[in-house]
Amino acid sequence: MTKDTPTILKKIIDRKFEEISQRKKNISERDFEQEFDRYAPPRGFAEAMKNKVAAGHSAVIAEVKKASPSKGVLRENFVPQQIAESYQKGGAACLSVLTDRDFFQGHEDYLIQIRESVELPVIRKDFLVDSYQIAEAKAIGADCVLLIVAALDDAKLKDLHAQATEYGMDVLIEVHDKAEMESALKVDNFLIGVNNRNLHTFDVSLQTTIDLKSMLPSDRMFVTESGIITPQDVALMRQHDVNAFLVGEAFMRADEPGEKLAELFGAN
């Protein structure tokens, strides 16, 4: 691959800027701000994660995701509210809802529907690169947003984080390597996620979590993301003192996602 070869991540980000530009023609950031009172204040996403771990359980962020660029459609029978309710019964701490339309077949409406049907805090899972999207996340009822260091420079990461926290939302900052972890740690944020999937190639290795765990201060929560498929994967992470997980594909391929969650994490 040459230096100028577009990666999957670059394609997604380029499309995201196009999407934002188009949507701004129809609804402004100020319009979103006028919708902020539509929902009760954000429910504590980070607090729910902390409470699970404090009770001796795994803190699982269960993902509602129809498709992905690397695996295609994961679930044909995709009913967001039913999936969310199943996760709640299965013991999830929080939910992750894909809102990217072009690459993950997600939608903002899925988050709205789920927000209104379950009590669990919800993170907007998308490629957020502009203040417009943070305002939109607040307007549709997100309790937390994902900020991906690979998609942002340090200044933009700091700005979007400040905006989200000003709105009362929690933030999950996602990294993939040591350099990104160093950038993430410049921001005062409790939740740090390590994505075991390389966003440039979409290859997965749990070694990424193991390698980066030692960099995290003890006052932050370390969330391992992607590649958690079997009880052995969970056991390996627990051996390295990782007790917070974001899991999607393994659940989405199961007939009953919540039952799969309970099975994968034992009594949770």
pLDDT at 8: 82
Task: Share the mean pLDDT of the chain.
Answer: 93
Residue 2 pLDDT grade (very low, low, confident, very high; cuts 50, 70, 90): very low
Does 170 have pLDDT greater than 70?
yes
Domain extent, residue 130, equals: 7-266
- The number of domains in the chain is 1
267 vs 142, residue with greater confidence: 142
Catalytic residue among 226, 249, 260, 268: 226
CB-CB contact of 98 with 63 (8 Å)? yes
Q: Assess if residue 1 is contained within a domain.
A: no
Q: Assess if residue 253 is contained within a domain.
A: yes
- Residue 125 falls in the annotated catalytic set: yes
Catalytic residue among 96, 136, 138, 174: 174
Q: Assess if residue 100 is contained within a domain.
A: yes
Does 197 have pLDDT greater than 90?
no
Listed in sequence order, the residues at least 6 apart from 174 whose beta carbon sits closer than 8 Å to its beta carbon are: 146, 147, 148, 149, 150, 193, 194, 195, 225
Catalytic residue among 225, 243, 260, 268: 225
Q: What angle do CA 168, 95, 118 make, to 5 degrees?
A: 85
Place of tokens 């990104």: 180
User: pTM for this structure?
Assistant: 0.94
pLDDT tens-place string over residues 24-37: 999 999 999 999 98
pLDDT tens-place string over residues 114-136: 999 999 999 999 999 999 999 99
Q: Assess if residue 77 is contained within a domain.
A: yes
pLDDT at 101: 96
pLDDT at 5: 33
pLDDT tens-place string over residues 231-264: 999 999 999 999 999 999 999 999 999 999 999 9
Q: Assess if residue 188 is contained within a domain.
A: yes
- Residue 65 falls in the annotated catalytic set: yes
CATH of the domain at 259: 3.20.20.70
Distance CA 268, CA 262 (A): 6
- Residue 225 falls in the annotated catalytic set: yes
Q: Assess if residue 157 is contained within a domain.
A: yes
Q: Assess if residue 25 is contained within a domain.
A: yes
Q: What angle do CA 38, 44, 48 make, to 5 degrees?
A: 140
Residue 213 DSSP label: H
User: Which of 200, 94, 198, 61 has the alpha carbon at shortest distance from 209?
Assistant: 198
H or E element, residue 63: strand 59-64
Q: Assess if residue 104 is contained within a domain.
A: yes
